[in-house]
């Protein structure tokens, strides 16, 4: 059974935005989307983390949508890098595993705290 996740929608939307912004043609975006479907990316069902996502959303006054990504990272004990400054500012003091993408150093992988 194929599971469609937020990630799949995000990828499709990113290609759509690229087309709208003139960064790629619709044909190129369709081809890229088809290529994306060939990658073996592990996906997680939102039902596994919906309670945690809801709690994080309530605790930090964020959307459940944004909190779903944080919940997945927390449940898998992974770093979560975001380019959403408002999200980062809202959680940086209480969720040390949430990192600002602008601070990422490609040559250095951060140690968990």
Task: Provide mean pLDDT across the span 72-88.
Answer: 93
92 pLDDT tier (thresholds 50, 70, 90): very high
In the chain, alpha helices (H): 6-20, 26-36, 50-60, 64-75, 85-91
- Above 70 in pLDDT, residue 56? yes
- The pLDDT tens digits of the residues spanning 6-37 come to 788 889 999 999 999 999 999 999 999 999 98
111 pLDDT tier (thresholds 50, 70, 90): low
**What's residue 64's pLDDT?**
93
Enter the tokens of residue 60. Answer: 């930090």
Measured on CA atoms in the order 59, 112, 77, 84, is the torsion positive or negative? positive
Classify residue 77 as left (phi > 0), alpha (psi -120 to 50) or beta. left
């Amino acid at each position: 059974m194929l599971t469609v996740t937020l990630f799949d929608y995000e990828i499709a939307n990113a290609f759509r935005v690229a087309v709208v912004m003139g960064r790629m043609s619709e044909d190129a975006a369709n081809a890229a989307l088809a290529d994306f479907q060939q990658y073996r990316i592990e996906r997680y069902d939102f039902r596994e983390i919906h309670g945690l996502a809801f709690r994080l959303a309530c605790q930090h006054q964020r959307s459940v949508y944004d909190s779903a990504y944080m919940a997945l990272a927390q449940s898998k004990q992974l770093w979560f890098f975001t380019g959403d400054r408002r999200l980062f500012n809202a959680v940086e003091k209480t969720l040390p595993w949430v990192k600002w993408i602008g601070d990422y150093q490609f040559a250095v992988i951060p140690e968990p705290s």
